[in-house]
Amino acid sequence: MATHVDHAARAAAFAALHTPAAPLALANAWDVASARIVEASGAPAVATTSAGVAWSLGSPDGDALARDRALDLVARVVAAVSVPVTADIEGGFGADPAAVGETVTGVLDAGAVGINIEDGHRDPAEQIERLAAARAAADAAGVPLYINARVDTYLRGFGEDATRLDDTLARAAAYLRAGASGVFVPGVLDPATVAELAKGIDAPLNILLGPGAPNVAAFGALGVSRVSLGSWVAEAAYAVVRRAAEELASEGTYGALAHSLPYGELNALLKS
């Protein structure tokens, strides 16, 4: 069992991975098998995707999954890999700041060293209180939890185009003052905007990448310290399920399975 010192050291080591010189690139996992595959690729850390986790447990994404089920999954992933794990906890799995603090305590008990927590449709003032509660819970545990504060202004198209950058920077600054370690701004890939975000946010910037986006190094050159694939990997995996099922039902063939991971390789990953 990891000691308190081990946990704190692992959290500090995870934070140190955030640098534009070599951005932390996270192919988000959603269960033990996907986490093991990500680790085996050489990734220095594993991040969960809230959407993939929820879907794999039979729930829609968006604060619908029960907290205990989410934390159980985090604990299983942490136990299965040797690299640091950061958990996407959606909006915090709690109706108020105190409940968010309880969630964070559960995340730490599970052995994770980081979280993603999103503002979504919440008023920034409310999100500030929730982030402060998360930081207080981590401080009480003596672990420098990496709190990645997700700002959804671009992802959800909040506000006017002309003021969205300023709104995002204002939210980011307030969230950092509340205790966030870094800022995640999904939904933006425009190089000029990304560069302005990196310049204006006094902490590591995380963005969401996917098909059609430039490579990781290009965003590192803009000042980005962390990139994530979010739910894209889980979506791609489920797309194979649909293609295989539809092909089997309509054609009686199996072409969709041509690039499957070999049974023996996957089985071996889960034996170790």
Q: Is the pLDDT of residue 96 over 70?
A: yes
Pairing of strands 226-228, 24-26: parallel
pLDDT on residue 271: 84
Instruction: Name the percent of the chain lying above pLDDT 90.
Output: 95
Q: With cut-offs at 50, 70 and 90, classify the pLDDT of residue 34.
A: very high
Read off the pTM. 0.95
Question: Residue 163: pLDDT above 70?
Answer: yes
| Residue 2: pLDDT over 60 | no
**Number of residues assigned to the chain:** 272
Q: How far apart are CA 90 and CA 266, in angstroms?
A: 29
Residue 1: per-residue pLDDT: 45
Residue 37's contacts (CB-CB under 8 Å, 6 or more residues apart) are 29, 261, 266, 269
Q: What is the CA angle 207-80-148, rounded to 5?
A: 25
Residue 156 pLDDT exceeds 90: yes
120 backbone φψ class: left, alpha, beta (φ>0; ψ -120 to 50)? left
The C-alpha torsion from 134 through 139 and 140 to 145, rounded to 10°, is 60
Confidence of residue 88 (pLDDT cuts 50, 70, 90): very high
Find out whether 68 and 26 touch, Cβ atoms under 8 Å. Answer: no
Burial class for 92, CB neighbours closer than 10 Å (0-12, 13-18, 19+): buried
Note whether 32 and 56 are within 8 A (CB).
no
